[in-house]
Amino acid sequence: MSKASKILGISSQALRNWDNTGKIKTVRSAGGHRRIPISEINRLLGKSPDYTRTTTLVYARCSTAKQTENLDRQVGRLLEFCLKNKWDPELHKEIGSGLNENRKELHRLLKRISDKDVKRVLLEYKDRLTRFGFSIFEKHCAAFGVDVVVIEDKVDIPFEQELANDMVSLITSFSARMYGRRGGRKKK
């Protein structure tokens, strides 16, 4: 925010107000800080857009807070992969079920895909993004010219086994939700 405010010659508070009213697009970091893409700064300055795609959207997820250590290791592997390939990463990580379609970071990721600076989305496994509908996500990315890179592709399993695994995942998730065991009980 401070760098953008210096470049634009306005206060950081004015930028926050513009973000709140929708005059500019910002991206939230994993820590909740606002980031203003260079494309937005160029747009505000009236510069011709530079469509050089360099940003790699890195997405990591685990299902429960008990798996936070696993999430941290997942993030480390993904960022190491970016470093090895000299990619410019933007991290999106969260805790939530792969069946839950109301995940904040997933929504931010989907929104960011349409930005002109995004080159690719990096995942460790397909199911880290979603349990179902991954091909729809790939088509969405392709519509904006964004590649999807999955580091670890699972071994091909027979259709019947995959279907059985999906059914068990659905039943487990919904029964846990029904009985209030997923993610802990509400505290009074």
For the record, the structure tokens of 7 come out as 């470049």
Quick check: pTM over 0.85?
A: no
Nearest alpha-carbon partner for 85 in 63, 56, 112, 108: 56
Domain 1-50 indexed as CATH 1.10.1660.10? yes
pLDDT value for 188: 47
Q: Tens digits of per-residue pLDDT, 151-160?
A: 986 656 677 8
Structure tokens at 160: 């019947």
Q: What is the pLDDT of residue 85?
A: 94
Residue predicted with more confidence, 161 or 187: 161
Q: Which two tokens stand for residue 15?
A: 């930028």
Contact 128, 99 (CB under 8 A): no
Three-class secondary structure assignment of 85-151: HCCEEEEEEEECCCCCCCCHHHHHHHHHCCCCCEEEEEECCHHHHCCCCHHHHHHHHHHCCCEEEEC
Task: Please give the residue that has the higher pLDDT: either 179 or 32.
Answer: 32
Instruction: Tell me which amino acid residue 67 is.
Output: Q
Query: Model confidence over 36-76: pLDDT tens digits?
Result: 887 788 788 877 655 578 899 999 998 888 988 999 999 99
Catalytic residue list: 63
**Cα–Cα dist 64/151, whole Å:** 22
pLDDT at position 134 is 86
Class of domain 53-154: alpha beta
Which residues does 101 contact at the CB level (< 8 Å), separation at least 6?
none
Tens of pLDDT, residues 3-23: 888 888 888 898 889 889 988
Mean pLDDT over residues 134-153, rounded?
89
pLDDT band at 28 (very low <50, low <70, confident <90, very high): confident
Three-state SS at 28: strand
CATH 1.10.1660.10 range(s) for the chain read: 1-50
- The token pair at 75 is 């993030």
Q: Averaged over 175-184, what is the pLDDT?
A: 62
State phi, psi for 94 to the nearest 5 degrees.
-165, 165
Query: Which residues in the chain are classed under CATH 3.40.50.1390?
Result: 53-154
